[in-house]
Amino acid sequence: MLQDLVNILIIAVLVSFLMFTSIIPHQFAKSQQKFAQTEFVEEGKPKLFDSHLKITTVAEGLSTPTTMAFVGPNDILVLEKDTGMVKRIVDGKVLPKPVLDVNVANSVERCLCGIAVAKNGSTTHVFLYYTEIDGTDGEDKAGKQPIGNRVYRYDLSSDALINPLLIMDLPANPGPRHNSGNIMIGPDKNLYVEIGDVDGSFKTSETETKTQNYKNGVDPDGRGGILRITQDGQPTDGILGDTIPLRLYYAYGIRNSFGMDFDPVTGNLWDSENGPGNGDEINLVLPGFNSGWQQVQGLASQETSFSESDLEDFNGKGHYADPKLVWVNTAGPTAVKFLNSAQLGTTYENDMFVGDVHNGRIYHFDLTADRKDLVLPQELSSRVIEKPSSPGVSNIVFGDGFGGVTDLEVGPDGNLYVVSIGLGSIFQISPAS
């Protein structure tokens, strides 16, 4: 399926090899931000469509990086999908020794996937989501089954992550697709965890659950939703029910998602979702949200034989809502990030940015006055993007050429940071002057 990241990851590895085998070690110049000041002027480099902003390389030569998190000013932890390594980047330099190296299953979308950081007094907790294997990296490619998609909490001490605490153990099978794995700390200080339906090539009735909208399916098993727990791994108030794991679900009916963020103004959660070659989505995710998979992907009105009665609503506690934007020709939307900063100018303050992995684009969206919808060009009033060059799309493209965006983050300096899995790099977007 075009949606699945396997093809783009293969391309990413080839692109990274071709680009980096001929690159000499980068000399990092001193600057106010302490990051290398390499601006892109050559053809084929990432570019922005706002001349008041510039792109700077923070780090390069990474091996299929997935997500990143700041642990301090100019101090970044970044995850590598296949190596199981958590690299640390200080003042623009990648430290030679990783702060952690875990045994990771890495076939297709299995990976070292998600990171979140929380500071509690003098302790910095680092949360990691990865597909764990009892063996060496990638042994699942030879048929060894992973232990699970697991969430651990670590303490950051000097240049190491120590004191691992398993706080969530989720299915990794049938797989190896749709693991999702994005995690973040919400405004309520709880941990939010995205996991897809963990789909495989061969499905059985045992893998069809009610949280995937199989009304006669088996009970929820932790797949296909956004889950919420405390930072100690304890359940919070249940939305859909009181039994575990149903009590953990904040949202469900999610096929495969690689990005979410909370609106800093309203506290509402938004996410991106990948469809099966079509129906990629941006969603407003209110508590109890049902994204509709497997009964519907994209706009419900485009499904020829769909009725909301086909959806599981958990005794009226769950609710379906159409996405706010749909890509028909899959873009592979990934990171969702609100720029809770005026550093790039008030034009962008508290606006939403979304990355994609297939086109290497970053999209920019204003929100409506009630902040429950996207402000879209007239040409996109149908909420459907037919293809990358469709009329109106250029109005929402903030930048492109990023080689497959897998994460967007706002730094302590208020600038926007971009993780490119295809280019093996982290970029900073900041004011040009």
The pLDDT tens digits of the residues spanning 288-314 come to: 999 999 999 999 998 888 888 999 999
Q: Which residue has the tokens 């000399």?
A: 27
What is the band of 402 on the pLDDT scale with cuts at 50, 70, 90? very high
CB contact set of 119 (below 8 Å; sequence gap of 6+): 125
More confident call, 43 vs 200: 200
Residue 321 CB-half CA count within 13 A: 18
Q: What domains are there in the chain, each with its CATH number?
A: 5-431 (2.120.10.30)
Residue 260: per-residue pLDDT? 98
Q: How far apart are CA 229 and CA 282, in angstroms?
A: 24
For 348-361, what is each residue's pLDDT tens digit? 999 999 999 999 99
Q: How far apart are CA 183 and CA 233, in angstroms?
A: 13
Distance between the two ends of the chain, CA-based, in angstroms? Answer: 43
Say if residues 402 and 420 touch (Cβ distance below 8 Å): yes
Say if residues 160 and 100 touch (Cβ distance below 8 Å): yes
Over 60: is that where the pLDDT of 137 sits?
yes
Q: How far apart are CA 15 and CA 4, in angstroms?
A: 18
Q: How far apart are CA 34 and CA 331, in angstroms?
A: 34
∠15-20-25 over CA atoms, to 5°? 160
Query: Whose CA is closest to 356, among 423, 323, 405?
Result: 405
Number of residues that make up the chain: 433
Average pLDDT, stretch 284-291?
98
Alpha-carbon dihedral angle through residues 98, 131, 167, 274, given to the nearest 10 degrees = 110
Provide the 8-state DSSP code for 13.
H
The residues that bridge with 405 in the sheet, in sequence order, are 420
Q: How far apart are CA 222 and CA 171, in angstroms?
A: 7
What is the band of 17 on the pLDDT scale with cuts at 50, 70, 90? very low
For 305-347, what is each residue's pLDDT tens digit? 888 899 999 999 999 999 999 999 999 999 999 999 999 999 9
